[in-house]
């Protein structure tokens, strides 16, 4: 019974990590575009 809890916990932590990582990539891309646009202004 204990391993089911570990699997659920691992799944949730993996999902949270991937979402956090994806958000970080999106933010980095947006920042890069913002700075490259400012360079031409």
Local structure of 41: helix, strand or coil = coil
Tokens of 17: 């990590």
**Helix runs in the chain, H state only:** 2-40
Q: Which residue has the higher pLDDT, 40 or 35?
A: 35
pTM tops 0.75: no
- The pLDDT score that the predictor gives to residue 41 is 62
Mean pLDDT computed over 19-35:
92
């Amino acid at each position: 019974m204990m391993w089911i809890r570990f699997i659920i916990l691992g799944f949730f932590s993996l999902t949270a990590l991937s979402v956090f990582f994806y958000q970080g990539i999106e933010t980095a891309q947006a920042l890069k575009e913002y700075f490259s646009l400012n360079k031409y202004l």
